[in-house]
Structure formats: C-alpha cells, structure tokens
C-alpha cells in the first residue's frame, strides 16, 4: 500500500487490527503515524500505550499488554516503535502471531524508522496479509519539486516551477526543513502566488539557530559550535522532543554507513541508498573517520534515551543528556573513556 492509498483508506475504512508504517524519512513516518492516531481517536480508540523497542526490550511486556483488558475504554491503540526496523526473531514471531490472531478492540501500530527491501521478512508478510503495510521510500531529488508544490498547495499557496526548484535546492532533500519553510511561508504570505524572486527573499533569512545546523556542526566535529547552537535553541524556547527526530534520523544513517564500512562494503553505494545528497557526503565521511560502529550504535541508543527523558519516561535532565549526545557525535571516541 502506498501513502496515498493509506490516506484514502483512513478516510473510508475502519482501522485494521495491525498496521506497519515503515520509512527512513522522519517526516513521512511522523505525519502518517499522526494520521493513524487521529483516525483511531475518531473510531473510539481512546486508550494509547507506546513501547520503545531496543536490544534489552522484553517482548513479554507487549504480550501481557495485548492479553490484558483495557482499563479506561473499550478500544485501545498500542504502538510499537522499531528504531532499526528489525524486531529480532522473538519480536517478529510476536508481531506475526498478533497479525494472525489479533486481540479484540485493539489496533497495533508498528512504526519502523529504518527500512529497505531486506527488512521485508516473514512477520512483515503476515502484517501485509492481515493488516496494512505502508512502506514509504525517501524522495529522490527529481521528485522533490513536485512534493514541495503539493505541500504548498495544501497550505493554500501557489508557486511556479522556478520557485519550487529554488526551495528544493535550498533544503537539499531534507523534508523536515522543507515543511518548516512551507509552514513559515503559509504564515507570512497566506494565499500568495510565489515566484522565484519572492521565494528567494522569503527563505534566504533562516533562523539563527536550527536543528539542521546543530547536527551539521556535530557531524563536522565542531563540538564548541554545536553546543553553542544547542544553547541558542534552548534560549529561543525550542523543546528537546523537537530536536530528536532529525538527530535520530542522521544517527541511523551513520549506523548504516558504519555497518557497511565495517563489513568492507561499498560506502558510496550505501550513501546513495541512504538518500544522502552529494553535498552531505563529505560530512558523513568525516564523522565515520572519528568513530567505529559501536560508537555510533551507542550514540543512537543515547538519542533514544534523551527522547524518553524528554517525554517523562526516564530519569535525568533532558538538556544535559542532549549536550552529552551532541558532544558525543562530535567526538565519538570520547564515549569509550
């Protein structure tokens, strides 16, 4: 099922017992998940439980949750978040078993934040057979202007081909950055028709601090500059949960590339497969030169921990942990000490 087909079915059909949304593109995964949650609320799924999956996750917790009765409503939504897209043997068996024999009045929403054809194994086929499976692939550069045009139209804006091409060039494949710019345009120029000159004027002055510059500085190994940006973001009122999705997506790419490198694979091909724009490849190569695969896996786990703390599901100071994470991206070897 495609993303467009999912939107049509959400508007028309009851939710199935299980859905798998899979994409390495954070914005696509975020917005489709939000759409499913909204539809679940409309259909009376008032109770929601979220499971964050890591290497230490006890799958019996999910089994117990699925077997228990709802405490607050007759219908419930249970989310399973897979940062790597791989639940492991036991997890795959549990998910396949639920797809084949679902619990009553329960919708299981599985979100996979990494995805490739290699991920489509037995449990995915079980979900596809008995529920909805929606893989969403990163946009190719040639597809970006069309995506921008459609999103502008959805916000009540129009733009000529030169204007959309200019914005596509500026954001370099970063859908989160594109969405941010388009929302800003909708706020500042409601109902406008934008040409290239107007687009240039409107998008030239970006915010002083942003998460994209933060990650870029950290990848470049400039911890001082990255931490200064982080302090600026905090001073401007940015909340930690808003920083996590993009940082997590870039760390996932680093883990993929480090895995390829450790196995002696084709790094250039892996970068292309990960959807990296050519202008970003050098930064990732430099980052890979400062660490090894275990370093980047620890950073990805630390990012998940920051998110849990920021949402009140873990102990600690989210900003302090974010500072440590940013410094760790800039100097991965320091994590070994």
Residue whose C-alpha is closest to residue 93's, from 118, 54, 116, 121:
121
The reply to whether 158 and 250 lie within a common domain is: no
- DSSP per position, 269-327: HHHHHTT--HHHHHHHHHHHHT--HHHHHHHHHHHHHHHHHHTTSSSS-HHHHHHHHHH
The reply to whether 320 and 221 lie within a common domain is: yes
Which pLDDT value is given to residue 70? 57
Which pLDDT value is given to residue 116? 86
Question: What residues make up the domain containing 150?
Answer: 141-203
Cβ contact 79:47 at 8 Å? no
Whether residue 337 lies inside any domain: the answer is: no
Number of domains in the chain: 3
CATH number at residue 64: 3.40.50.300
Whether residue 45 lies inside any domain: the answer is: yes
Which residues in the chain land under pLDDT 50? 205-208
The reply to whether 131 and 7 lie within a common domain is: yes
Cβ contact 15:40 at 8 Å? yes
pTM equals 0.60
């Amino acid at each position: 099922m495609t993303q467009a087909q999912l939107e049509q079915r959400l508007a028309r059909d009851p939710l199935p017992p299980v859905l798998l949304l899979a994409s390495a593109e954070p914005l696509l995964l975020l917005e489709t998940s939000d759409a499913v949650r909204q539809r679940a609320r409309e259909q009376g799924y008032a109770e929601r439980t979220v499971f964050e999956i890591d290497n230490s996750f006890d799958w019996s917790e999910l089994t117990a949750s699925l077997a228990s009765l709802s405490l607050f409503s007759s219908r419930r939504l249970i989310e399973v978040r897979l940062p790597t897209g791989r639940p492991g043997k036991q997890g795959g068996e549990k998910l396949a078993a639920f797809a084949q024999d679902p619990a009553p009045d329960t919708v299981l929403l599985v979100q996979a934040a990494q995805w490739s054809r290699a991920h489509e194994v037995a449990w995915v086929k079980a979900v596809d057979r008995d529920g909805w499976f929606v893989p969403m692939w990163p946009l190719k550069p040639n597809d970006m202007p069309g995506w921008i045009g459609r999103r502008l139209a959805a916000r009540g804006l129009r733009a000529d081909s030169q204007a959309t091409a200019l914005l596509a060039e500026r954001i370099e494949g970063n859908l989160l950055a594109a969405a941010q710019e388009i929302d800003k345009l909708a706020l500042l120029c409601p109902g406008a028709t934008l040409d290239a000159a107007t687009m240039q004027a409107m998008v030239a002055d970006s915010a002083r601090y942003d998460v994209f510059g933060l990650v870029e500085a950290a990848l470049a190994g400039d911890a001082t500059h990255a931490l200064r940006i982080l302090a600026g973001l905090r001073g401007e009122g940015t909340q930690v949960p808003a920083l996590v999705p993009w940082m997590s997506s870039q760390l996932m790419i680093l883990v993929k590339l480090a895995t390829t490198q450790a196995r002696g694979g084709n790094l250039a091909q892996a970068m292309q497969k990960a959807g990296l724009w050519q202008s970003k490849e050098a930064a990732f190569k430099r980052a890979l030169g400062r660490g090894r695969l275990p370093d980047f896996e620890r950073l990805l786990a630390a990012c998940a921990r920051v998110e849990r703390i920021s949402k009140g599901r873990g102990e600690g100071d989210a900003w302090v942990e974010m500072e440590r994470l940013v410094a760790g991206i800039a100097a991965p070897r320091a994590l070994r000490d």
